[in-house]
Structure 1
Amino acid sequence: MKEIVVPELAESITEGTVAEWLVQKGEKVEKGDAILELETDKVNVEVNSDFTGVLAEVLVEEGDDVEVGDVIAKIDENGEAGGSSSESSEETVEKEEKKEEPSTEKQAEEKKEEPAKEEKEETDATDQPVASPATRKRARELGIDLNDIKPKDPVGRISKEDVEAAASQKAEGSKAKSSKKEETSEKTEFDKPVEREKLSRRRQTIAKRLVEVQQEAAMLTTFNEVDMTNIMKLRSERKDEFLDKHGVKLGFMSFFTKAVVGALKEFPLVNSEIQGKEVVKKKFYDIGMAVSTEEGLVVPVVRDADRLSFAGIEKEVGDLAKKARDGKLTLDDLSGGSFTITNGGIFGSLLSTPILNSPQVGILGMHTIQKRPVVMPDDSIEVRPMMYLALSYDHRIIDGREAVQFLVRVKEMIEDPYDLLLEG
């Protein structure tokens, strides 16, 4: 038997939760096949088999917590799907022993029955539903037993369409029972029905880290507002040309990223972190972009943003956002980062206080654009598209003066995007 252990995941990740078994006990696996999906603090990763054989033993169940190095399964390299080599050898020994025993009428009758019995056992062992790994995974996701499906394929192979059809029938049956279940729901400390759901490992980690940041850092937030007139005008003028040339839309994120990088170069403490009794000033500009997903907030990182063009930033932001929505972010996509930008404006937030992404000491919060009356330098009043900006920072190493000046510098560059484009 060969042991499958939880591999090294990342420098800062030592444990995870079993999210889903992709291969079931008794099924054949090839070397390199994914057999298990593991949920970590940041992303879901697949654990691959280092051996070819049959999954003989499953030592952990879905929902169990495991650590790097834990044995989670055993592979029988000599086994066959539906059984194992050890079982086959035991059956052979038993048969040989029976042949050597003195023959009696009862034994003769048993020997006559044995072939039929063995044939039935062999049929049961190999009578597994025929389906591809992708179909089996989809069936597990929908909670469908492949043994209950009658395939449309004359050969007997179960397809994804068969699984989806079975799931639809199951859903219709569940709707019919839903009202009855509500009436018979268990009484809890609440007077009315509730639904309990276990927090995912990622959500638990997010909650833990957010609380830690507020307890450990001297977090403070400063606010300002920026006039978006010029940047909106520039986008309107250049958006078609930009799209034709680069194949990506010109958004706000590239402008804000460039402005943040420029301000970080002027105020390097905002691009640092505390390590023990030292302040580590980072000479690189890896900007995290907070993205909301169904499983929680993730912060993929745009590497070397200072070296990227506007088009390069827009492409990178778009690619990372798509990977986040599709659940395909890797640990490399999420590691590191020197400063973070979060945009609550896409959800309609007018003003908020962003929480630091530890161990970073600064985070910029963008908000929705709202037309408001603004007093101009000549005392006239105009309606302008305005956005509130928020900078949360760690007051242990960043003084209020630096924080305010940093945010003012971002505001100045956003309000003069033509100059920002030239400085690039």
Structure 2
Amino acid sequence: MAELRVPELGESIVEATVGNWLKKIGEPVSAGEAVVELETDKVNVEVMAEVDGVLQSILHVEGETVTPGDVIGEVSSGTSAGAKQSQDEPKKSDEVQVSHSPIPASPEVPAATQSEETVMPRETNRLEDGSMTKAGDGPHLPPRATPAVRRMASEQGVSLDALSGTGGQGRITPADIVSSQQSGEPPVMQRQSGSQGNATAAATNHVVPPREAAGGVDNREEHIRLSRRRLTIAKRLVEAQHTAAMLTTFNEIDMSAVMDVRKRRKESFRDRHGVGLGFMSFFTKAVVGALKAIPQLNAEIRGEEMIVKHYYDIGIAVATEGGLVVPVVRDADRLSFAEIEQQITALAKRARENQLSLEDLRGGTFTITNGGTFGSLLSTPILNPPQVGILGMHKIEERPVGVNGSIVLRPMMYVALSYDHRIVDGAEAVRFLVRVKELLEDPEQLWLEG
């Protein structure tokens, strides 16, 4: 029997959430084949089988929190024939679990009710002296069953309290549930009657029933479990506002010169380098130039020290279905426009395909985020700790501006700099934005100054 263990997840990652099981109980697996996905706050990790065999048990179901070293499943040596037998004839063993591929919630029992009420800790029947009891030995001890069996019972409408477990130490097994149904024992949860009654009343009175019968959950609400990444994003953003003296200052940039360069050079640039000439390479170069002029924005607070960094690893915020991630362009000051565009394109593609590595996300000295991609005209970006500065780009929009005593239309962009006022003064923040503005309105400086 080979154990599936949670691997080391990388620096600063101490736990993960069990995601999608890629194999079902009884299905054959090959050595090196992915069996289950784990979600972390940064990337998703696949757990591979170390031997050829059959997935024998699932010890942690989707949504459970695990830590490095935890055993989450077991693979036994076997063949596909053995796998078929395990699928067709459930063995009376406490090691055989039901599949935990995602199970759609029934319309009668909402998903939130199932996950909260039927998935119980594994060892609720452990006595103070460490011994185990069968279900029913004590007046208040719940039946001993794995979360998998509890979910199966919930789906089938079977009460575990009415069953006697045939597994080890009185554990209720999938076979016990199947046997109870074959013997005609009535299920305790009469889920159909409540929902049918509501439906009948609705048809008679021409009103929509406000709530489901089971659990009292509003049937107009959808309960969605937050991913590990989304939970961590929420936690870090709140921490950023609680721990930093965050302030935002604004300016606007005339994008005429940059747009002119892009218009004249975009075809030849793509032919030579295989990527488009976007705005992000201009902004990355301009930010590096401004950070060299105002180094406090390329720093972090560590204890009672300010750590000023003389390297420029620029984080580029990328929106994905799972949430915002910030892959890092390393040593941006040493890269050409083409190399920056190539790296950003590759990182964004990997981010949207959920293929980023921990190294892609680690570190970063300053961040750029582009809300203009989605039409944002003005916003106040939140710091990405432990960084002390983040630049927000926005939508380019033609606006009337005064030029040499005349009012003309120019493509203008508002930019926002959020910064940690503990080590960055307002004057320095304003000077930083002014320097970014100067470099972008005269982009030749970006080439002349490297």
Range class of TM-score, shorter chain: 0.7 to 0.9
> Per the alignment, do residues 41 and 122 of structure 1 end up closer, same or farther by CA in structure 2, a change over 3 Å counting?
closer
Q: Which residue of 1 aligns with 2:93?
A: none
Aligned position for 2:120: none
Partners of 2:63 and 2:346 in 1: CA distance: 31
Q: Are residues 121 and 18 of structure 1, via their aligned partners in 2, closer, same or farther at CA, if it must alter by over 3 Å?
A: closer
- Aligned equivalent of 1:422: 448
The yes-or-no answer on 1:253 pairing with 2:280 is yes
Deviation of the 1:266 alpha carbon: 1.6
Q: How large is the RMSD of aligned CA atoms in angstroms?
A: 2.8
Whether the 8 Å contact between 2:210 and 2:219 is mirrored in structure 1 is no
Q: What is residue 23 of structure 1 aligned with on the other side? A: 23
Q: 2:420 aligns with which of 394, 402, 413?
A: 394
CA distance in 2, matches of 1:22, 1:192: 30
- The letter for the 1-side match of 2:79 is E
Equivalence map 1:284-363=2 (5 Å): 284-363=311-390
| Matched positions, count | 341
> Between Structure 1 and Structure 2, which shows a larger proportion of helix residues?
1
**What is the CA distance between 1:52 and its match in structure 2?**
2.8
Q: Deviations over 1:202-256 (max 9, x none)?
A: 1111111110000000000111111111111111111111111111111110000
Alignment of 1:14-53 (within 5 A): 14-53=14-53
- Corresponding letter in the other structure for 1:211: V
How far the C-alpha of 1:76 sits from its partner, in A, is 2.0
- Which structure is larger by alpha-carbon Rg, 1 or 2? 1
Equivalent residue for 1:265? 292
Cα 1:123–1:210 change in 2 (3 A) is closer
**Letter matched to residue 394 of structure 2:** H
Task: Report % sequence identity.
Answer: 61
Is the Cα–Cα contact under 8 Å of residues 248 and 380 in structure 2 kept in the other structure?
Answer: yes
Change (3 A) 1:29 1:254: same
What is the aligned partner in structure 2 of residue 76 from structure 1? 76
Shift of residue 75, structure 1, vs aligned partner: 2.2
For the residues of structure 1 that align with 2:426 and 2:249, how far apart are their CA atoms? 8
Unaligned runs of 5+ residues in structure 1 are 85-119, 127-139, 144-179
Measured after TM superposition, the shift of residue 183 of structure 1 is 4.6
Measure the CA separation in 2 of the matches of 1:296 and 1:258: 26
Following superposition of structure 1 onto structure 2, how do residues 61-140 of structure 1 map, counting pairs within 5 Å?
61-77=61-77, 79-81=78-80, 83=82, 124=88
Tell whether 2:56 aligns with 1:56: yes
- The 3 A distance-change label for structure 1 pair 142 and 5 is closer
| 1:185 shift after superposition | 6.2
Provide the residue aligned with 2:211 in structure 1: 186
The amino acid that maps onto 1:80 is: T
Aligned positions of 1:162-241 closer than 5 A: 183=208, 186=211, 193-241=220-268
Aligned equivalents of 1:122, 1:275: Cα separation in 2: 56
* 2:223 maps to amino acid: R
Q: Deviations over 1:309-366 (max 9, x none)?
A: 1011111111111112222222221111111000001111111000001111100000
Name 2:434's counterpart in structure 1: 408
AA aligned to 1:221 is: T
Task: Please tell me whether the aligned partners of residues 59 and 72 of structure 2 are also in contact (alpha carbons under 8 angstroms).
Answer: yes
TM-score by length of 2: 0.71
Q: Contact 1:230 / 1:416 at 8 angstroms: preserved in 2?
A: yes
Residue type at the aligned position of 2:396: I
Deviations 1:33-55 (A, max 9, x none): 11110111112110112233222
Paired residue for 2:2?
A: 2
CA distance in 2, matches of 1:239, 1:318: 15
Alignment check: 8 A CA contact 2:252 2:415 kept: yes
Return closer, same or farther for 1:402/1:121 CA change in 2, 3 Å cut-off.
closer
Aligned counterpart for 2:396 among listed residues 346, 363, 369:
369
- The offset of 1:278, in angstroms, is 1.5
What's the CA shift string for 1:361-384, capped at 9, x where partnerless? 1000000111111112x3221111
